[in-house]
A and B are shown apart, each in its own frame.
Chain A
Amino acid sequence: MTDSAVADHAGFDQPTRRALLGAGVIGAALAVAGSRSASARSTGLSDDDLSLASFAISLELAARDLWDVALEAGADQQLWMTIRENHEAYAQRLAGITGISANTRDEALFSANAEGFGTNTPSIVGYNLESAAAATHLDLLGKIDDSEIAGALASIAAIESRHAAVIAGLRGESLDAQFLNAATPIAAGVTS
């Protein structure tokens, strides 16, 4: 892959990550409060689990929409499109398990990062987003009780980690950037 996916080579800037994380704190609370659906599964899931799953869904929908912004700005490589599709699949998977409707994105997370994704060279912002998303799901594993949701989050974090590693590899970043996730989890607003 020699396209512009690797052209925006300026290192992974911290302001973008801070914006992501700051937005997440606010967005988490909004998501938890706003996206619960009347169709939520009634068997066995605690209110906390439902809230955390709802947050995870809203994060994935925001990620999908952020990648849409990049695609519309001309980042038309298959990698970006695939990552976008994956995020939508993650939201749908979690919705399928919980019965929560996958229809509400984390608006604050989206708004804080939409401008950064308005480029045909989104690898830096993409790396930061994928790293933060993976870190968030890994953090949620320490809070969610339901093993089915936990299993789904693990399978999602696995591939989001690969997304980040692939982007870092394409950019020729350090092995630390490829293999370690230094991102701070986006706060979920609910503590265990």
Chain B
Amino acid sequence: MLSMGAIVAACGDRSGSTDPGLLGDAAPLPTLPEATVDDLVLLRTLQSLEYTALEVYSAAGKTGVLTSGEASLAERFVSDHTGHAALLGTLIADAGGEEFTCANPFLMDRAVNPILAAIKGSDDAHRDVLNIAHGFESLAGASYQAFVASLKDKMLRRETMRIGAEEHRHAAALAAAINPEVLLSPIFFGLPVDKDADGFPIPYAIPAAFGRLTGIDLVVGGTDEEGARFSTQLQTPAANTFVYDYQSC
């Protein structure tokens, strides 16, 4: 029979290392640089989105699937995005920062490259290219809108959202090109927003009463052996997508 003292003694000594246990021999994780999200980071991120859009249109042009009218529209968008990137460069320089004159690395890795890979061998590359363009124009518009409340400088809010409004206009024109018969989202009439019979999101030139910041669904490519297509959701920039001051092209 154990005495009460023995039991207490057995339970009481829990001293020792409090470090978590280590299994295996993996290298320690790298220490990330300290970074803050300020107006310059937001501007550099927006500039990276413009270069991302240019990458998307460059890839789209190489597919050769656009009609002459659509190609003219795409050329206009390329011109606009080039101008937007330059304007953002001026804003960044004026704010004492360094331009980021290349596509957003995170977005390219996690969204653009997989999307472009998925349209190889597509059953309808024309459909895919238009939907991709609409998706990225919508993303751009939403991103500018999302950053308004985060930017500290009121002048920058105004100047960046002026660009954002043009991105929304691009998206509206593309939606009208893809879905010319129905410009207004069903939500205006109290109806659900469904995908089409093949599972593709339906773009609307006027998708809601207010600019939305929700994820933008994008479905592209052909079907796999299970009948599914590549599907992703484009999100407005957050911590992983920001272009911090320590990053360079």
- Chain A contact residues, CB within 8 Å of chain B: 1, 78-79, 82, 85-86, 89-90, 93, 134, 138-139, 141-145, 147-148, 150-159, 161-166, 169, 175, 178-181, 192
Q: A residues within 8 A CB of B206?
A: 79, 82, 159, 162-163, 166
A155 near B211 with CB under 8 A, answer yes
Q: Does B115 contact A (CB under 8 A)?
A: no
Whole-angstrom distance from the CB of A48 to the nearest CB of chain B?
11
**Sorted from nearest, which 5 A-B pairs have the closest CB atoms?**
A158-B211, A142-B158, A151-B149, A165-B169, A161-B165
Supply 8 A–B pairs (Cβ within 8 Å), ascending by A.
A82-B206, A156-B211, A159-B209, A162-B169, A165-B168, A169-B172, A181-B166, A192-B154
Which residue of A138, A158, A161, A179 contacts B76 across the interface (Cβ within 8 Å)? A179
Whole-angstrom distance from the CB of B147 to the nearest CB of chain A?
9
The DSSP consensus for interface residues of chain A is: helix
Q: Does B155 contact A (CB under 8 A)?
A: yes
Chain B contact patch, size range? 35 or more
Bound complex: CA A112 to CA B40 (Å): 42
Which residue of B144, B145, B173 contacts A169 across the interface (Cβ within 8 Å)? B173
A161 near B166 with CB under 8 A, answer yes
B208 near A159 with CB under 8 A, answer yes
Q: Does B162 contact A (CB under 8 A)?
A: yes
Q: Indicate with 1 or 0, residue by residue over B212-228, a CB within 8 angstroms of chain A CB atoms.
A: 10000000000000000
Closest to B213 in A: A155
Q: Does B176 contact A (CB under 8 A)?
A: yes
Bound complex: CA A162 to CA B2 (Å): 82
A-B contact count (CB 8 A): 121
Q: B residues within 8 A CB of A93?
A: 210
B184 near A78 with CB under 8 A, answer yes
Whole-angstrom distance from the CB of A94 to the nearest CB of chain B?
11
- With A79-B183, A86-B209, A175-B76 as contacts: A154 and B172 at CB distance below 8 Å: no
A141 near B154 with CB under 8 A, answer yes
Whole-angstrom distance from the CB of B193 to the nearest CB of chain A?
15
Which residue of B183, B205, B209, B210 contacts A85 across the interface (Cβ within 8 Å)? B209
With A142-B154, A154-B148, A163-B206 known, 13 other A-B pairs at CB within 8 A are A1-B183, A78-B188, A79-B183, A154-B144, A158-B164, A158-B168, A158-B210, A159-B210, A161-B172, A162-B172, A165-B172, A165-B205, A179-B169
Q: B residues within 8 A CB of A163?
A: 206
